[in-house]
């Protein structure tokens, strides 16, 4: 009798999955609730500890978020500062950023607890897949936030500040009709300049040996500085003969909301490769279908970028471009996975 050359149906992976069945770790409903309660308590304790740490460094975190704006303001001849429109604005921003930073700092621990609760009901292959998604999605989210902070945010702030400065005050001399309606609308008299014009030194930094009564212009900070017995007094200087009609001095609350909204948008947008790979590997949308539908992907990227960003073309373009690049990266990864999967039976044969 000849032996049957047909290979065994069960592979090593199938046997391992059979031994690692869900039945081996099945718990009752009450046990599930008790385990979920313990995971939530541990996660909340981790968030509380991380928040206590970030509350200590809340001022430094705010300075990091304000730094791109200050740099752009300084480069455009503006004083690097923000406005507190209410007495509690700065303190509220401090608490908000500290709490949010604490949640972000504790997120790996929170995901670890969530993963520990979910993994008990998954097969070995499923646990490996979900573990890869959790790690990759965290890395991509932070990559999107860093991309916003170092590249997109300075460009967007420069655009808005330049746009605001384009509004210049027109000729403010009153017309004849205005002078009839307004009091004190006479033309200013021409003043004779003094014989000895005032000349102030223009310095790159404040001198350390200045005497009371000395004054100078700091060219770096663009401030007129006066040395007094009690210390230095200074006032901001505006470039040009007149001030711009619109001053780009933003409120703390509005600026933080603007930055956090963009950070969330870019963090979510950078998850595009994960979404593409999941659709391809799960079989919901095959890779060849996504390749043929690139034009629909471009349209979807533009729509998503317009929803997640402020209503300006620049922000939408800066988000849509990396999103489409990441879409193509996801297609490349999905194809590589398909090639490896199709090559495995051949190698086994």
Q: How far apart are CA 291 and CA 176, in angstroms?
A: 70
Q: What is the pLDDT of residue 126?
A: 65
Q: What is the pLDDT of residue 10?
A: 42
Q: Where are the domains of the chain?
A: 21-167, 271-341
Q: Please report where in the chains the tokens 């009450």 appear, as a residue.
A: 30
Residue 231 phi, psi dihedral angles, 5° rounding: 140, -160
- In tens digits, the chain (349 residues) has pLDDT values of 444 444 444 443 444 444 444 455 555 667 778 878 888 898 899 899 999 999 999 899 999 999 999 999 888 878 888 999 889 999 999 999 999 888 888 887 887 787 777 766 666 766 676 677 777 888 888 899 999 999 999 999 999 988 888 776 666 777 778 778 876 545 555 556 655 667 889 999 999 889 998 999 988 888 899 999 988 998 878 777 666 677 788 999 999 999 988 988 998 899 899 888 888 887 788 888 888 888 888 998 999 988 888 878 888 899 999 999 999 998 998 888 777 776 665 544 4
Q: What is the pLDDT of residue 187?
A: 54
Q: What is the pLDDT of residue 195?
A: 57
Q: How far apart are CA 136 and CA 140, in angstroms?
A: 6
In the chain, % helix, strand, coil (3-state, to 5) comes to: 65, 5, 30
SS3 81: coil
Q: Please report where in the chains the tokens 């046990």 appear, as a residue.
A: 31
Asked if 225 and 216 count as a contact pair (C-beta separation under 8 A), the reply is yes
pTM of the complete model beyond 0.85? no
Q: What is the pLDDT of residue 185?
A: 46
Q: How far apart are CA 68 and CA 88, in angstroms?
A: 23
Q: What is the pLDDT of residue 120?
A: 65
DSSP H or E segment with residue 156: helix 153-165
Q: What is the pLDDT of residue 259?
A: 92
Q: What is the pLDDT of residue 16?
A: 45
């Amino acid at each position: 009798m000849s032996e049957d050359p047909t290979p065994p149906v069960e592979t090593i992976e199938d046997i391992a999955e059979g031994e690692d069945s869900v039945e081996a770790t099945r718990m009752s409903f009450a046990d599930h609730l008790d385990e979920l309660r313990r995971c939530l308590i541990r996660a909340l304790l981790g968030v509380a500890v991380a928040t206590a740490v970030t509350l200590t460094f809340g001022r430094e975190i705010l300075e990091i978020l304000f730094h791109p704006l200050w740099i752009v303001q300084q480069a455009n001849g503006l004083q690097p500062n923000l406005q507190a429109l209410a007495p509690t604005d700065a303190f509220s921003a401090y608490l908000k950023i500290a709490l949010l930073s604490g949640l972000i700092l504790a997120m790996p621990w929170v995901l670890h607890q969530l993963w520990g609760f979910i993994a008990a009901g998954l097969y070995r292959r499923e646990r490996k897949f979900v573990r890869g998604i959790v790690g990759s999605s965290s890395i991509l989210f932070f990559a999107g936030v860093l991309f916003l902070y170092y590249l997109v945010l300075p460009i967007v702030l420069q655009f808005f500040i330049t746009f605001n400065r384009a509004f210049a005050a027109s000729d403010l001399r009153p017309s004849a009709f205005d002078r009839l309606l307004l009091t004190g609308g006479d033309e200013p008299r021409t003043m004779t300049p003094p014989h000895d014009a005032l000349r102030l030194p223009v310095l790159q930094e404040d001198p350390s040996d200045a005497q009371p009564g000395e004054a100078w212009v700091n060219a770096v900070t663009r401030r007129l500085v006066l040395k007094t017995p009690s210390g230095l007094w200074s006032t901001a200087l505006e470039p040009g003969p007149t001030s711009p009609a619109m001053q780009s001095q933003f409120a703390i609350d509005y600026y933080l909301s603007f930055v956090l909204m963009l950070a969330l948008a870019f963090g979510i947008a950078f998850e595009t490769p994960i979404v593409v790979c999941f659709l391809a590997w799960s079989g919901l949308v095959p890779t060849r279908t996504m390749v043929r539908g690139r034009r629909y992907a471009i349209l979807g990227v533009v729509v998503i970028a317009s929803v997640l960003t402020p209503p300006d073309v620049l922000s939408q373009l800066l988000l849509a471009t990396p999103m489409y690049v990441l879409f193509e990266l996801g297609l490349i990864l999905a194809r590589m996975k398909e090639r490896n999967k199709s090559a495995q039976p051949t190698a086994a044969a």
